Amino acid sequence: AGSYAFQAQPMGVPGGFVVPPVQNQPTMDGTIWMPVPPSIPNCPPGLEYLTQQVDQILIHQQLELLEIVTGFETSNKYELKNALGQRVYFAAEDTDCLTRNCCGPSRPFTMRIIDNLGREVITLQRPLRCSSCCCPCCLQELEVQAPPGTTVGYVVQNWHACLPKFTIQDEKRMDVLKITGPCVVCSCCEDVNFEVKSVDETCTVGKISKQWTGFVKEMFTDADNFGISFPMDLDVKMKAVMIGACFLIDFMFFEHSGDRRQQAGVW
């Protein structure tokens, strides 16, 4: 993995991510933000949040009332929190109405991630690509920029007949990590785990988990909860790329509410 050194670490308790009680007071609007960290030399501005002994990020998609009532696809919005439940970032999808409702979960998008100072610190760019194993020449890819305009890495889908597989790459297209999902991506009554592995796939160093949120929410909405765990000493740029991988996985496998009803056994 070149300069991106990491060590395998315990994956926490089985079955999900435990969030300890929040220890600081909320702001006027009720949002509890992670304290602003000091600037760090050679660290992209805004990624300092990921250097403070952070080995876990929780991502909660916000419920959209219009989408629930009408089925009309709206722009996705997410809260990104640390293990203490403090908001680290806020993410908003930037797409037009026609793209969202014609292309569905396969749509290209720009995801803008801002910090608690209102700065856009991470930008995710997903072009329109195929995700079928029948088209191995045009599989999914996502570019991660931090700050916007400066590429720090890529998430690249790898062809496989049965398993969802991805590679985390740095800005020079060098492989850093691998991600492997289950053969059947079904979230019925349990979490779905995508294992994060070393490049040679001999060592599991983290995971991206789609968390089961209950029958009603899974059936009627496409609002998802995810947990990302990664080595604490992983380069902050690669932590940002891991966040990008989580968003790509969400759109590819969990975005369509109709698929959710089928997974829940209703259809």
pLDDT at 212: 67
pLDDT reported for residue 111: 97
- Residue entry with tokens 């590819």: 252
Residue 153 maps to a domain: yes
| CATH number of the domain that residue 147 is part of | 2.40.160.200
pLDDT for 3: 47
pTM of the model: 0.81
E-only strand ranges, 127-174: 141-145, 151-158, 165-170
Residue 63 lies in a domain: yes
What is the residue range of 236's domain?
48-257
CA-to-CA distance for 65 and 6, rounded, in angstroms? 42
Residue 196 domain-assigned (yes or no): yes
CA distance 135 to 222: 27
Dihedral (C-alpha) 118, 238, 190, 65: value to the nearest 10 degrees?
Answer: 20
Determine, yes or no, domain membership for 247: yes
The 3-class secondary structure across 60-108, one letter per residue, is EECCCHHHHHHCCCCCCEEEEECCCCCEEEEEEEECCHHHHHHHHHHCC
Whole-number pLDDT of residue 266: 33
What lies within 8 Å, CB to CB, of 226 at 6+ separation is 58, 59, 208, 209, 210, 211, 246, 249, 250
pLDDT of residue 184: 79
Which two tokens mark 180?
Answer: 């492997």
Residue 21 domain flag: no
> Is there a domain that residue 93 lies in?
yes
Spatial separation of the C-alpha atoms in residues 22 and 26, rounded to whole Å = 9
| pLDDT score recorded for residue 68 | 55
Query: In this structure, is residue 264 part of a structural domain?
Result: no
> Could you report the average pLDDT of every consecutive run of 10 residues in the chain (267 residues)?
45 43 49 85 92 88 66 82 92 90 88 93 92 71 97 95 93 97 77 94 94 53 80 94 96 68 37
Q: What per-residue confidence (pLDDT) applies to 191? A: 83
Q: How many domains does the chain divide into?
A: 1
Q: Is residue 37 part of a domain?
A: no
